[in-house]
Structure 1
Amino acid sequence: MSLHRIVLFTGIALVFLLVVPDQVVAQPLPGIDLRINPTNEPTEVVDSLKVLFILTVLALVPAFMILMTSFTRIIVVLSFVRTAMATQQTPPNQVLIGLALFLTFFIMAPVFEQIRVDALEPYLANEISQEAALTNAETHLKEFMLKHTREKDLALFVNASKMDRPESTEDIGIMVLIPAFVISELKTAFQMGFLIFVPFLIIDMVIASTLMSMGMFMVPPIIISLPFKILLFVMTDGWYLIVQSLLQSYGM
């Protein structure tokens, strides 16, 4: 089994432990007993190496799952909001990451539901094989990522990988699609970030010009402009508008 399939399967399992209904989580799980014992059997050594390899892959699962969902765009946009307002560490990183995670679960809920119905539940019921479950899960994730990936970005990695021009979505490898999806998400996030910066930049320019005209050269403009930025953000219900824009950017 290839590395990306192991990461995909492990990540989906961890996600569903948090978001799937209780009847799925209640499925009996195998016990794990990690011991290092001397042996002369090569097969036992191979099994131990497989366990070590899987544990190593687990460390990479969060990065893979973050890059395959809407988390990247959300956290970058929220970071732009804080930077544009110049509020230093307010809101703190824990709040922004927590909000980004829950928005990600909300946006990805239809995809996770399709994976649960078509891949996880049939696999737990022994109706399909592990390979079929992975294929079904990968298909739904690829549909989501392709919907939000620019053709130009996808062509970049297809050409760089020296693969033949894909005739359908099934021909596009997940390892080609992930980086194309990420840079498409980053471009969209930076476009939204630019629009967020504009009104706050105008406030900074107005405050700086006013202070210069009054001869108050020693007063940092940010000290005066910060309350006005916060006031503008509160009066326009900024968090509502930011979250609404993020949801609408995914067609919700």
Structure 2
Amino acid sequence: MGDFGDLFGPNGPNLQNLSPPVQTALMLGVSTLLPAALMTATCFTRVVIVLSFVRQGLATQNVPPNLVVTGLALFLTLFIMQPTVAEIDQKAVTPYANKQISGAEAVRIGAEVHKKFMLRHTRKQDLALFLHLSHNTTVKEAEETPFLTVIPAFVISELKTAFIMGFCIFLPFLMVDLVVSSVLTSMGMVMMPPVTISAPFKILLFVLADGWHLVCYAIAASYS
């Protein structure tokens, strides 16, 4: 599968020659892929996984609720992606709105800008993996990688980074569990679930350390 340049370039289909009903149907079909694109082609994956690790580390079950975690992850994603979105607007959306470039050219430019963002946060070995799986031997530079090859490499890079950050988040909470479990065992209270005692201490530790501030800062700083 090629890049967006292959789909909308001179050798690709000319969407402007299609009838309005067909264009509408294509636009509706593409719009159904927007949620998947939001979750995989942006920083949403890393953000929501790290926030989920925080909630699991606190052992507070459904606090914060899923809606709050997803909403915070969404707005953090919009905040982090703001420079990329602004560049796409400047180089693709505004010229298209002013009728300086065609719709196909706007899509191609926007895809190139977004691909640069993904490449900056994709590990070389992950990119090499999918180039090897696609039997692509023509790519010499990372910028030449097809868009549809960059996306899965970007996703698994984001997953690894998110799990590394989740591991670092879990360590302080694990230490609290170990201390509480040792104290309960030394007192002979082996039947008392350690989670019942450690949960308030973990919440207190998290609040005193201003945990949400530190977590959001770490997530945003990981993209700077």
Structure 1 and Structure 2 fold alike (TM over 0.5): yes
Tell whether 2:91 aligns with 1:118.
Answer: yes
Are the counterparts in 1 of residues 121 and 157 from structure 2 also a CA contact under 8 Å? yes
Q: What's the RMSD between the two structures over aligned residues?
A: 2.0
Any idea what SS the aligned residue of 1:182 has? helix
Deviation at 1:191, TM superposition (A): 0.3
Deviation at 1:205, TM superposition (A): 0.8
Deviation at 1:57, TM superposition (A): 3.0
Deviation at 1:217, TM superposition (A): 1.7
Correspondence for 1:23: none
Any idea what SS the aligned residue of 2:101 has? coil
Deviation readout 1:46-101 (Å, 9 max, x if unpaired): 86555444423322211113211111100000000000110000001111111111
Tell whether 2:30 aligns with 1:75.
Answer: no
Following the alignment from structure 2 to structure 1, what is the Cα–Cα distance between the partners of residues 56 and 4?
35
Are the counterparts in 1 of residues 4 and 111 from structure 2 also a CA contact under 8 Å? no
- Gaps of at least 5 residues in structure 1 are 6-43
Deviation at 1:215, TM superposition (A): 1.1
Kindly provide the amino acid, as one letter, of the partner of residue 173 in structure 2: F
Question: How many aligned positions are there?
Answer: 212
Correspondence for 1:196: 169
Correspondence for 2:108: 135
Tell whether 2:133 aligns with 1:164.
Answer: no
Following the alignment from structure 1 to structure 2, what is the Cα–Cα distance between the partners of residues 49 and 112?
28
Kindly provide the amino acid, as one letter, of the partner of residue 111 in structure 2: E
Are the counterparts in 1 of residues 116 and 143 from structure 2 also a CA contact under 8 Å? no
Tell whether 2:39 aligns with 1:63.
Answer: no
Are the counterparts in 2 of residues 158 and 165 from structure 1 also a CA contact under 8 Å? no
What's the % identity of the aligned pairs? 48
- Gaps of at least 5 residues in structure 2 are 6-17
Kindly provide the amino acid, as one letter, of the partner of residue 136 in structure 2: M
Are the counterparts in 1 of residues 184 and 190 from structure 2 also a CA contact under 8 Å? yes
Correspondence for 1:98: 71
Following the alignment from structure 1 to structure 2, what is the Cα–Cα distance between the partners of residues 145 and 65?
13
Kindly provide the amino acid, as one letter, of the partner of residue 131 in structure 1: A
Kindly provide the amino acid, as one letter, of the partner of residue 231 in structure 1: L
Any idea what SS the aligned residue of 2:128 has? helix
Superposition TM-score, scaled by structure 1 size: 0.79
- Name which of 72, 76, 81 aligns with 1:108: 81
Correspondence for 1:214: 187
Following the alignment from structure 2 to structure 1, what is the Cα–Cα distance between the partners of residues 129 and 143?
18
Following the alignment from structure 1 to structure 2, what is the Cα–Cα distance between the partners of residues 122 and 55?
23
Tell whether 2:211 aligns with 1:243.
Answer: no
Superposition TM-score, scaled by structure 2 size: 0.89
With 164-173 and 133-142 compared, the bigger mean Cα shift is at: 164-173
Kindly provide the amino acid, as one letter, of the partner of residue 215 in structure 2: I
